[in-house]
Structure 1
Amino acid sequence: MGSSVAVLAVTVMAFTRFNSGIEYFPEDIPPKQVFVDVELPIGTRAGATDDLVSRLEGELMSVPGRTDWKSSVAVSGGGGGGGMDMGQGGPSGPNAGRVTLSYVDFQDRGADAFETLAWMQSNIGTEIAGAEVTVEQLQEGVQSGAPVNIEVVGEDPEQLKALSDRVLEILRNDAISSQLVGLESDLDAARPELSIEVDREKAALYELSTSDVGRAVRGAIQGVEAAKYRTGTDEYDIIVRLAPEYRDNLAQLSELTVMADGGRQIPLLSVADWQVGEGYGTIRRKDQERMATISSDVAAGLNSNAVLVEVQEVLAPFVADELPPGYTIAYTGQQEEQGEAQDFLGAAFFTALLLIAFILISQFNSVVKPFIIMTSVMMSTIGVFMGLMVFRMPFGVIMTGVGIISLAGIVVNNAIVLIDYIDILRERDAMDRREALVQGGKTRFRPVVLTATTTALGLVPLAVGLNFDFFGLYTALQPELFWGGEQAAWWGPMAVAVIVGIIFATFLTLVLVPVMYSLVDDFTTFFRRWFVAPDRDDAVAVPSPSPAEPPFEVRVPPRVAEPEPAQVFRTGLRPRPEAG
Structure 2
Amino acid sequence: IEKKSRTGRHYRLLDALNVPLHWMRKGIDTSMEFLKKEYKHIFELIFRYPKTTIVTVILVFFGSMMLVPYIESNFTPKSDEDKFTINMVLPQGSTIERTLETCKLVEEYLEKIPEKKSYLTNIGENGVENAKITVDLVSLKDRKRKDVEIMDELTRFIAAIPDVEVSYDRGIAIEAGTGDVAIDLYGVKYDAMIRLSQQMKDIMQRSGYFQSVILSYKYPRNEIRMKPLQEKLVEYGVTASSVGLSFRSSVYGEDSNTYKEKSEEYKVNVELNDAYAQDFDDIKVMSMLSRKGLIPLDELGKLTIEKAIPTIRHRDRVRVIHLDGFLGKSSLGIVTGILDKQFKAIQFPDGYGYRYVGNSENMNEANQELGKAFIFAIILTFMLLCALMDSLIAYPLAVMTAVFTSIAGMISGLFFLGQSINIASLMGVVMLVGMVVNNAILLLDYTLIKMKEGVPVKEALWLGASEKFRAIMMTSIAIILGVLPQLWSIMDMKKSMGAVMTGGMLASILFTFILVPVVFWYLERFEAKFFKRGMNKA
- The answer for the alignment partner of 1:491 in structure 2 is 494
CA deviations 1:144-180 (Å, max 9, x no partner) are 94222221112433443343334334444x2x2x431
Which amino acid in 2 is paired with 1:338?
M
Distance 1:240 1:495 in 2: 63
Change (3 A) 1:311 1:517: closer
Q: Which secondary structure state, in structure 1, belongs to the residue aligned with residue 211 of structure 2?
A: strand
Deviates more, 1:438-447 or 1:490-499: 490-499
Distance 2:270 2:367 in 1: 58
CA deviations 1:512-564 (Å, max 9, x no partner) are 222222222211221145xx9xxxxxxxxxxxxxxxxxxxxxxxxxxxxxxxx
1:49 and 2:99 are equivalent in the alignment: yes
Which amino acid in 1 is paired with 2:140?
F
Which amino acid in 1 is paired with 2:141?
Q
Give the superposition deviation at 1:348: 0.8
Distance 1:513 1:326 in 2: 53
Change (3 A) 1:524 1:396: same
1:191 and 2:191 are equivalent in the alignment: no
Of 140, 156, 169, 1:106 maps to 140
- The answer for the alignment partner of 1:277 in structure 2 is 306
1:362 and 2:395 are equivalent in the alignment: no
Q: Which has the larger radius of gyration?
A: 1
Change (3 A) 1:213 1:279: farther
Q: Is the 8 A contact 1:144 1:337 kept in 2?
A: no
Q: State, as a whole percentage, how many aligned pairs show the same letter.
A: 21
1:234 and 2:265 are equivalent in the alignment: yes
Give the superposition deviation at 1:353: 1.2
Stretches of structure 2 lacking an aligned partner (at least 5 in a row): 1-49, 534-538
1:97 and 2:131 are equivalent in the alignment: yes
Alignment of 1:431-450 (within 5 A): 431-450=455-474
Q: State the Cα RMSD in Å.
A: 3.9
Q: TM-score, normalised by structure 2?
A: 0.75
Q: Which secondary structure state, in structure 1, belongs to the residue aligned with residue 70 of structure 2?
A: coil
Distance 1:252 1:494 in 2: 64
Give the superposition deviation at 1:190: 1.4
Distance 1:255 1:376 in 2: 83
1:58 and 2:89 are equivalent in the alignment: no
- The answer for the alignment partner of 2:40 in structure 1 is none
Q: Which secondary structure state, in structure 1, belongs to the residue aligned with residue 66 of structure 2?
A: helix
- The answer for the alignment partner of 2:243 in structure 1 is 217
Alignment of 1:493-572 (within 5 A): 493-529=496-532
Aligned length: 476
Distance 2:189 2:244 in 1: 29
Distance 1:138 1:381 in 2: 31
Distance 1:523 1:383 in 2: 29
Q: Is the 8 A contact 1:221 1:241 kept in 2?
A: no
1:338 and 2:368 are equivalent in the alignment: no
Q: Is the 8 A contact 1:38 1:134 kept in 2?
A: yes
Change (3 A) 1:519 1:44: same
Change (3 A) 1:269 1:126: closer
Q: Which secondary structure state, in structure 1, belongs to the residue aligned with residue 412 of structure 2?
A: helix
Which amino acid in 2 is paired with 1:343?
Q
Alignment of 1:281-360 (within 5 A): 281-299=310-328, 301-318=329-346, 321=347, 323-360=348-385
Q: Is the 8 A contact 1:147 1:297 kept in 2?
A: yes
Q: Is the 8 A contact 1:221 1:247 kept in 2?
A: no
- The answer for the alignment partner of 1:124 in structure 2 is 157
Q: Which secondary structure state, in structure 1, belongs to the residue aligned with residue 160 of structure 2?
A: coil
Distance 2:285 2:360 in 1: 55
Q: Is the 8 A contact 1:395 1:493 kept in 2?
A: yes
Q: TM-score, normalised by structure 1?
A: 0.71
- The answer for the alignment partner of 2:211 in structure 1 is 181
Give the superposition deviation at 1:105: 2.6
* Higher fraction of helix: 2
Deviates more, 1:372-381 or 1:213-222: 213-222
Which amino acid in 2 is paired with 1:359?
L
